[in-house]
Structure 1
Amino acid sequence: MLQFKRPGNWLFIVPWIAFIPWYGMLIAMLICWASQGHPLYWFMHTEQFPIYISDIGATNLRPLFISCAGWQGLGYVVTIALEFFQRSGYLPFQLKNNDSSISDSTSYAEKLHSGKYLMPPYYTKHERNLIFAAFVLGGIGQLALLFCSIFSTALYHRVHIAMVSVFVVFMFLSVCCLIAEYFLMGRHYASVHPLASPHFNPQSSEKKLQSKL
C-alpha cells in the first residue's frame, strides 16, 4: 500500500485555506450571473464584454464579495509572513537589526543543518529585506482590493477604479520582490549544494559583475 511521508510542518495548508474560498466565490458569482440570463446591470455599458467580477460584486452579492476579498487578502499576507518566519525564526513585524549575513558557504551549511529553520534561511540581508518588502507591499495591495470591494463600481466608480489601480501596482511590486528573493536564494543556495564547485562564491561573482557594469 502506498504511504505518503508526513510533512515536516503543516503550514503549506494556509494558502489553500485562504484561496479556495476566494476561487469558490468567483465561480459562485459567475454561476449566479449566468443563471440570471447574463444580464447587463444598470451601471454597465451596453456594449461591455466580458463582465467584470466587480460588476457582479456590486449587486446583492456585495457582502460575499467583501468578505471573500478580505479573507484572501489576509491569507496572502499571512502566507508571506509564514515564509519569513520559516526562513528567519521570527515574524516580519519583529524585524531585528542585529541579524548577521552569512559570509561563507560553510557557516551557511551549518545554519542550514541546525534544524532551527523550517525552510532554508536567507543567505544575506537582501533576501530578508525582499521578503519584508513583499509583505508590506502585498499588505497595501490587499487593502486596496478590500476597499475596491467596499466601494462598489456602481456607487463609487472613480474610487473603485483608483483602488483597482493601487491593487495592481502594489501586488505587481510585491510579486517582483518575491521573484527577486527566490532568484537570490536559488543562486546562493547553489553554493552549498553537494555538487557545487568548491571555488564558487556568489558574492565574489556579484562584485565582478558590478565592476564590469
Structure 2
Amino acid sequence: MWGISYWAVPIFSSLVWLSMLIAMLTTWSVQGSPHYSSMNPKQHIAYISDIGAQGLKPLFIAMSAVTVVSLDLAFILERWLRHTGKLTPNTSFWQKFYSTCSIIASVAGAAGLILLSIFDTLHHPHLHDDFLVLFIAGYIVSAIFICWEYQRLGIHFREHSILRYSFWIKLTFIFVELGLAIAFGVTRKKDKYNAAAVLEWTISFIFFFYVLSFFIDFMPAVRSKHYQSRETEMDMAEQGGLPMGDGAANDGQYFRGNTNGYANGNGHAHGHTNGYANGYTNGTGHANGFSNGTSGPSHIPKPAGPAPMPSRNF
C-alpha cells in the first residue's frame, strides 16, 4: 500500500493545481469574459490573479495551498526514501546538501504562492507581484538543486536510467519556465498585458507537468517487500531463497544444503539406482562377491534380480 501512495502524492498535487486552473478559466469564460476592476483598460485577457481576486478567491487560496503543501511533502518524502534506501541512496554529503537546499527553496516557493493568493492583485498589487516573483523563483531554484543532485546520483548509478529521464525533464522545466518568466516580465513592463496574460497561463500549465513529473522519481520505491514482481520471486527461488510449490512435489527442499534435490541425481536416486544397478548388473556388488569367492561361498550363487524402486522414506 505504501508503495502506491509514494507516487500518488505528486499526482494528487498536480491534479489539484490543474483542476484549479481549469475551474478559474472556465468560470471566466462562462461569465462572458468580463473585464474585472483589477484589469488594465487595455487588457482583454484576465490574469489568474484577476480571476482569483474576485468571487473565486476562496478557491484560489485553498487549492493553491493544497497544491504546494502536498508538493513539498513529496520533496520531503523523497529525501526520506533515499535516506532509508527505498530509492537510490545519496553517496556523498553534497548530494544530501543539494536535496536539502531543494526542499528549502520549494518551501519558499510554496509560501510565495499562498501569500500571493491571499494578498490579491486588486487590494495589494505590489505585495502580490513580490510574492509572485518568490513563487516562480523558489521553484526554479528548487529544480536547479534537484537537477544537481540527480546529476551526481546518475554518475554513481548509471544503470538507473530513471534518474537520467527525471534529470532531463526537470532541466527542461528550468529553461522553459525561466525563459517564459523573463518574457512575462518584459511584456508587462512594456504594457503588453494580453501577451503577459497568455504567458502567465502558459507558465501555470507547464508547472502542472513539472509537478506531475515527480511520480517518476517514486516509481522505484513501488518495488518494495510487499510488491515484488513474480520474476524476482522466481530468481530468489532458483537461488534457494524461496520454496516453490508444495513440499510433496518438491522433495529436495527437505534436505539442508541440497538445492538440486532428486532431479539432479543426488540422494536416493543415485544411491539406490547406482548401488543396486551396479551391484547386480555391472558386477561390483553381489555378483562379483559370489563369483570371485571374496565374499561368501562360491557354490551358492545368487541369481540377479530386478533393481528395487527408490525409497521415499527420508
Partner residue, 2:119: 151
Distance 1:46 1:192 in 2: 54
The answer to whether structure 1 residue 190 and structure 2 residue 158 are counterparts is: yes
Partner residue, 1:25: 20
What amino acid does structure 2 have at the position aligned with 1:78?
L
Distance 2:16 2:33 in 1: 23
The residue correspondences of 1:121-132 to structure 2 (distance < 5 A) are: 121-132=89-100
Describe the superposition over 1:69-113 as per-residue Cα deviations: whole angstroms up to 9, x where unpaired: 110110111010011000013xxxxxxxxxxxxxxxxxxxxxxxx
**CA 1:13 to 1:156, structure 2 compared with 1: closer, same or farther past 3 Å?**
same
Structure 1 residue 10, shift from structure 2 partner? 2.9
8 Å CA contact retained: 1:19, 1:75: no
8 Å CA contact retained: 1:84, 1:131: yes
Structure 1 residue 168, shift from structure 2 partner? 1.5
Distance 1:130 1:50 in 2: 39
Larger radius of gyration between Structure 1 and Structure 2? 2
Distance 2:123 2:41 in 1: 18
Partner residue, 1:105: none
What 5-or-longer segments of structure 1 have no aligned partner?
A: 1-5, 90-116, 194-213
Structure 1 residue 29, shift from structure 2 partner? 0.7
Partner residue, 1:70: 65
Describe the superposition over 1:48-69 as per-residue Cα deviations: whole angstroms up to 9, x where unpaired: 2532111100001000000011
Q: How many residues align?
A: 161
- Superposed structure 1 runs of 4+ greater than 4 Å apart: 6-9
Structure 1 residue 7, shift from structure 2 partner? 8.9
- Residue aligned with 1:10, SS: helix
Partner residue, 1:180: 148
1:35 pairs with one of 22, 30, 39: 30
Q: RMSD of the TM alignment (CA)?
A: 1.9
TM-score computed with the length of structure 2 as normaliser: 0.49
How many percent of aligned residue pairs carry the same amino acid? 29
The answer to whether structure 1 residue 59 and structure 2 residue 54 are counterparts is: yes
Distance 1:25 1:49 in 2: 21
Partner residue, 1:114: none
1:164 pairs with one of 125, 132, 136: 132
Partner residue, 1:88: 83
What amino acid does structure 2 have at the position aligned with 1:44?
M
What 5-or-longer segments of structure 2 have no aligned partner?
A: 162-314
TM-score computed with the length of structure 1 as normaliser: 0.71
